[in-house]
Amino acid sequence: MNSAELFETRVRKYQKKSMKYMRYVLNDHFLIVLFFLFGFIMVQYSSWIQSIRVLELPLLGLLGALLASVPFFGGVATLLEPADGIFLSVVGQDFKAYLQKAIRRSWMLPILVMLASTGIIFPIVAQAFGTNLSMFVKLFLLQVFFKDLLFRCTKYAYRGVLHFTWMEKLGIYMIAVVNFFGMFLWISEGWSIVLLVIPVLLSIFVEQYYGKAAFVYQFDKMIEMELERQQRIYRLFALFVDVPMLHKPHAHRRTYLDGVLKMLVGNHPSGHRYLVSRTVIRTSQYMSLLLQLAVVSFVVALFSQPYYWNFIVNALLMMLLGFQLVGVIQSANTQNSHFASLVDSNTRLQDDLSVLMLTMVVSGIVIGISSAIGMRELIGLVGIVFYPIFGVFFTQFYLRFRFIKKRRKI
């Protein structure tokens, strides 16, 4: 089996594994939440677009910065494994075919993302400058050319002939921002197509300057980057189901949350309840998501005019937190399974449900405060009471049964 055939075998194996987890994502009730959230965003977006008459420079700069970041989405999926540092490193030139196939397949998802981002931005441009299909093509091609430049730099970084760190990436990003900004300024002009040549010239320079250099593949670096890439994907799957391959985050004591930990533990805690509560509070798996969604809640409240939309969106965010929390508690039970024989099964279940309920209440208060600050109206204070109550009902009438069902599968 040559290296190209080996890559195809690994692709099929990886796709099979990913589809197994995607079934949990696609069959989950959270898809309903996403549809409602997507509908809300589209309604707000279309209303905002209709109010646009002239694109001011700050908005052009923001759009340029956003589009310039899209090519950085998605890296090269080499699917390398730790043992490859020993076995594949001796095949020499034959590994070129493996890497070329990896780069070609790595184009699939970024192309879809770039098409989607262009489709989202294009209505803004069309509203300000008039509908012209060439504008869409220019914006899309500019993203594709910068993505090609990034892939070429990554390829030569793997060969060890190009020092491709965050500084070089920042430099490419700044060039991309300037290009997109210029494209928005002169997009209706025919000569704006000249801006498409800049990333192409950079790609030619990289190819000519580094393509003929002697090299040795940096397998340790490639394997490390591939493991990091897969971990990012597994963290997404972990929002819906426990993923054994996911590296569990280390617990770090957050002294400012000791009061919350004591509340979750209660006055007469069992060892099991303490361990579950500590996992929820002291690992970043749930707390980082809560912080991110609190920021989302603040931004939605800041820019959304009808106040009832804020309550709808924040209720959806609470549902997302609930789905994640069930997985975190289930993961804590798996890690602490050696304590199972020391605690009665019913007691352990009641402890889990109690921690689940109290955490949802605290999360509701956090979301409510964040939303109230963004709304800057008295009606926003209602959310500080409403979201914890919503969390209690959602836990009692849905998450409770979902948790018990997942528990029985173990």
Kindly state whether residues 301 and 192 are assigned to the same domain. Answer: no
Domain limit, last residue, from 237, 263, 280:
237
Report the alpha-carbon distance of residue 395 to residue 98 in Å, rounded. 48
Kindly state whether residues 163 and 14 are assigned to the same domain. Answer: yes
Q: Name the more confident of 174 and 36.
A: 174
265 within a domain of the structure (yes/no):
yes
Amino acid at 52: I
Amino acid at 99: L
Q: Is the pLDDT of residue 154 over 80?
A: yes
244 within a domain of the structure (yes/no):
no
Domain limit, last residue, from 174, 205, 237:
237
Residue 67's pLDDT band (boundaries 50, 70, 90)?
very high
What pLDDT, on the 0 to 100 scale, is given for residue 192? 78
Q: Name the more confident of 191 and 399.
A: 399
245 within a domain of the structure (yes/no):
no
What pLDDT, on the 0 to 100 scale, is given for residue 40? 73
Q: Is the pLDDT of residue 55 over 60?
A: yes
What average pLDDT score do residues 177-198 get? Answer: 84
Kindly state whether residues 153 and 265 are assigned to the same domain. Answer: no
Q: Is the pLDDT of residue 386 over 80?
A: yes
The beta-carbon contacts of 86-89 under 8 Å, at least 24 apart in sequence, are 88/3, 88/219, 89/217, 89/219
Residue 407's pLDDT band (boundaries 50, 70, 90)?
low
Kindly state whether residues 89 and 35 are assigned to the same domain. Answer: yes
Across the chain, mean pLDDT equals: 82
159 within a domain of the structure (yes/no):
yes
pTM of the entire structure? 0.72
Kindly state whether residues 268 and 206 are assigned to the same domain. Answer: no
Q: What percent of the chain has pLDDT over 70?
A: 83
Kindly state whether residues 122 and 213 are assigned to the same domain. Answer: yes
- Domain span at residue 405 reads 255-409
Kindly state whether residues 283 and 174 are assigned to the same domain. Answer: no
Report the alpha-carbon distance of residue 230 to residue 74 in Å, rounded. 11
Give just the sign of the alpha carbon dihedral 351, 356, 361, 367. positive
Domain limit, last residue, from 237, 267, 286:
237
Kindly state whether residues 213 and 273 are assigned to the same domain. Answer: no
Ranked by mean pLDDT, the top range of 215-224, 236-245, 294-303, 328-337 is 215-224
Contact by Cβ (8 Å): 329, 387: no
Q: Name the more confident of 316 and 247.
A: 316
Q: What percent of the chain has pLDDT over 90?
A: 26
What is the phi/psi pair of residue 214, to 5°?
-65, 145
Report the alpha-carbon distance of residue 296 to residue 371 in Å, rounded. 9
What average pLDDT score do residues 16-35 get? Answer: 72
Q: Name the more confident of 271 and 206.
A: 206
266 within a domain of the structure (yes/no):
yes
Kindly state whether residues 218 and 348 are assigned to the same domain. Answer: no
50 within a domain of the structure (yes/no):
yes
242 within a domain of the structure (yes/no):
no
Residue 325's pLDDT band (boundaries 50, 70, 90)?
confident
Q: Name the more confident of 325 and 114.
A: 114
Kindly state whether residues 381 and 297 are assigned to the same domain. Answer: yes
Kindly state whether residues 229 and 314 are assigned to the same domain. Answer: no
Mean pLDDT is lowest, of 63-72, 82-91, 193-202, for 82-91
What pLDDT, on the 0 to 100 scale, is given for residue 26? 66
What pLDDT, on the 0 to 100 scale, is given for residue 207? 94
Residue written as tokens 């008295």?
Answer: 378
250 within a domain of the structure (yes/no):
no
Kindly state whether residues 190 and 64 are assigned to the same domain. Answer: yes
Report the alpha-carbon distance of residue 219 to residue 363 in Å, rounded. 43
The domain tally of the chain equals: 2
